[in-house]
Chain A
Amino acid sequence: MSEPAIQAEKLVREFKKGPRAVDGIDLVVAPGEIYGFLGPNGAGKSTTVHMLTTLLPPTSGTARVAGFDVVRDGPKVRARIGAALQEAALDPLLTGREHVRLQASLQALPRADRARRADELLGRVGLAEAADRKVRGYSGGMKRRLDLALALVHSPRILFLDEPTTGLDVQSRTALWSEVGRLAKDEGVTVFLTTQYLEEADVLADRVGIIDHGHIVAEGTPLALKAEVGRPTIEAIPADPAELGRASDVLARFGELVPCAENGVAVRLKGGESDLADVVRALDAEGLKVEHLQLHQPSLDDVFLAKTGRSLEGAGDEEEKEGPTSQLAMDAT
């Protein structure tokens, strides 16, 4: 088995007069893997990235990136990684092209290659036309894409992306996901991606680590994590609120009741998704008119909820809007 791209053992970071931001995490990320590091604000994601990228020394524990110790071999680690940190750290007074060329110079690319590399990367992230405009006129999405281009100047084998799509519109987010996915798939780049967006981790990551209060509380593929939590739930809202009791009786035949909206009833389906048709038939047979019927697949938020007892703040809203939910709005007679 090849050496892990990223490996951390009992990694701890304590701040003076502060909490343990990272409290003994263990990580192994394989070469070419996209590892999603999911957690709410303040969970310890960025602190972990800062330690793995050599910007912050660990209080204790060890970490190796690209086979090198992050404390002892900082320069060797930095030569092999690219990073786009939480804020797109750009100079508003420089153009996109000047940024790439500055980065290429500092990464010691041969002088003759710098202009070509700048054109190539700016084109790849869709900034060719805006390359000679000052960054202060860029949108949030353009800044993020430039940030990604800068992280790729020296063709790193490992890429750290710290909340790369926070604050971006759906279009910019999708474009960035597409490029990150391509880097991993076509170029074999290992990606360590922190996010507070459930959908991002779900769509992009081969494996997900969920961090809360500095601890990794769950780790695995998104599918495996969701399967671990359990079966889908179905929620029904009767057209006539007086029928809530009868609707509840019908649904209770298909699984245990779970909390949901006040005017509805929800159960975790014993037989999984395949029970959906039977539920519809049962409601119909009872003559219940249903205003709203919705099947909820288990989400990473459910995983987070199961592991920590609370929902991922903010990201939970995201999941609700864009998550893997099939919805049926129907009238049953």
Chain B
Amino acid sequence: MTGFADQVYVLGRRSVLRTLRQPANVVAPLLFPMFLLAVNSGGLKAETKLPGFPTNSFVAFALAVPFIQGALFATMNAGTDLARDIQTGFLNRLSLTPMRGIAVLAGQLGGAVVLGIAQVAVYLGVGLAVGVRPASGVLGVLVLFVFALFVTLAFGALGAFAALRTGSGEAVQSLFPAFFVFLFISSMNIPRNLIEQTWFRDLATANPVSYLLECVRSLIITGWDAEALALGFGITGAITIVALSLSTWALRVRMARS
């Protein structure tokens, strides 16, 4: 393994280890989205009777939501852990090694991505167990994992940016409600074309989170939908590029070693 790859590997391993050693950080991202899925599937099942609803299974429709929620949890974990490293001086310790600065970010996000993908495997497993069969088949499931990787990376990089700019775990955690607002004003619970309130439909249409949900949903419900995939991957890619650029810049400022 090259020096840089080794640095990323050991820092990514540390990121995974410290998450696994905080049971709340493992259990909450798994239980909370599944709980919400169960509640919504029970309470909103009648939506499937609406003309134009894309599937008979509300679980299949709602399964996209945990993907995004899981990524939000990854944001919190990646950001909070990084902020804690700044607060405790651990980042200074790392700065005193020959490590390349970007390895901190890559390791932290790498760990978040590994955990994010593990979460997605659990969400999909639950979906399969209750009878959801992805319309895009095995290849579609692989694409779902790739998409989950990018979504986790994008949100994780936003969390890392917040951590590097503020150096405060509390500041990172304060992002969580803000991200949740985006989730709730999206097509999370109903397809956009079935939203009756114009203002809400407009907000959901302007909200990038809607397209992330619809990308996942297309692979599960409708099969291969080029437009949904292009929008989902395109928006995720754009967020990833912007968030990674911002967090790389913030890291350079934070690690102002000569």
Asked whether B93 lies within 8 Å of A150 as measured between CB atoms, the reply is yes
Distance in angstroms from A237 CB to nearest chain B CB is 47
Asked if A286 is an interface residue, CB under 8 A from chain B, the answer is no
Partner of B92, one of A55, A81, A102: A55
**Cβ-defined contact, A72 with B90, below 8 A:** no
- Which single member of B17, B22, B257 contacts A98 (CB below 8 Å)? B17
Asked if B96 CB lies within 8 Å of chain A CBs, one says yes
With A81-B96, A90-B88, A106-B99: A74-B10 Cβ-Cβ less than 8 Å: no
Which residue, of A83, A106, A107, A150, has the highest number of chain B Cβ atoms within 10 A? A106
Q: A78-B96, A85-B92, A94-B18 are in contact. Are A102 and B10 (CB under 8 A)?
A: yes
CB distance from A195 to the nearest CB of B (A): 18
Interfacial chain A residues near B17, Cβ < 8 Å: 93-94, 98
Per the 8 Å Cβ criterion, residues 182-234 of B in contact with A are: none
Contact of A70 among B22, B95, B96, B258 (CB under 8 A): B258
State the total of A-B contacts with C-beta under 8 angstroms. Answer: 74
Once A70-B258, A85-B92 are accepted as A-B contacts, the answer to whether A78 and B18 lie under 8 Å apart by CB is no
A52-71 vs B, Cβ < 8 Å mask (1 yes, 0 no): 01111100000000000011
Which of B3, B94, B257 has most A Cβ within 10 Å? B257
Say yes or no: A106 contacts B98, CB within 8 Å: yes
Residue B170 CB within 8 A of the other chain:
no
Contacts of B98 in A (CB 8 A): 75, 78-79, 106-108
> If A78-B96, A89-B88, A89-B89 touch, does A106 touch B256 (CB 8 Å cutoff)?
no
Minimum distance in angstroms from B47 CB to a CB of chain A: 43
For the complex, is A87 an interface residue (Cβ under 8 Å from B)?
yes
Tell whether, in the assembled complex, residue A89 and residue B258 are in contact, meaning their CB atoms are under 8 Å apart. no
Check A93/B22 contact, CB under 8 A, given A105-B6, A106-B7, A107-B97.
Answer: yes
Contacts of B257 in A (CB 8 A): 54-55, 74, 78
Q: Which B residues lie within 8 Å of A57 (CB)?
A: 256, 258
Asked if B252 is at the interface of the complex by the 8 Å CB criterion, the answer is: no
Complex contacts, B88 vs chain A, CB 8 Å: 87, 89-91
CB distance from A192 to the nearest CB of B (A): 14
Residue of B nearest to A75 (CB): B98
**A contacts with B, residue count (CB < 8 A):** 32
Contacts of B14 in A (CB 8 A): 91, 94, 98, 102
B90 touching A105 by the CB < 8 A rule? no
Chain B residues lying within 8 Å of A56, measured Cβ to Cβ, are: 256
Closest residue of A by beta carbon distance from B20: A93
Given the complex, which residues of A lie within 8 Å of B85, measured CB to CB? Answer: 91
Given B3, B6, B92, B97, which contacts A103 in the complex, CB threshold below 8 Å? B97
Answer whether residue B21 sits at the interface, using C-beta atoms and an 8 A cutoff: yes
Which of B10, B18, B95, B258 is the one whose CB lies under 8 Å from A105?
B10
> In this complex, what residue of A is CB-closest to B255?
A55
Task: Check B6 against A55 for contact (C-beta < 8 Å).
Answer: no
| Among B6, B90, B96, residue most surrounded by chain A Cβ atoms (within 10 Å) | B96
Q: When the two chains form their complex, are residues B93 and A71 in contact, meaning their CB atoms are under 8 A apart?
A: no
- List of B residues within 8 angstroms of A102 by Cβ: 10-11, 14
CB distance from A83 to the nearest CB of B (A): 6
What is the bound-complex CA distance between A75 and B7, given in angstroms? 16
Question: Taking CB as reference atom, which chain A residue is nearest B22?
Answer: A93
Question: Nearest 3 CB-CB pairs, A to B?
Answer: A89-B89, A74-B258, A106-B97
B residues near A (Cβ < 8 Å) are 3, 6-7, 10-11, 14, 17-18, 21-22, 85, 88-90, 92-99, 256-258
Given contacts A54-B257, A98-B14, 17 further A-B contacts (CB under 8 A): A54-B96, A55-B96, A55-B256, A56-B256, A70-B258, A78-B97, A79-B98, A87-B89, A89-B89, A90-B88, A93-B17, A93-B18, A93-B22, A105-B7, A106-B7, A108-B3, A108-B98
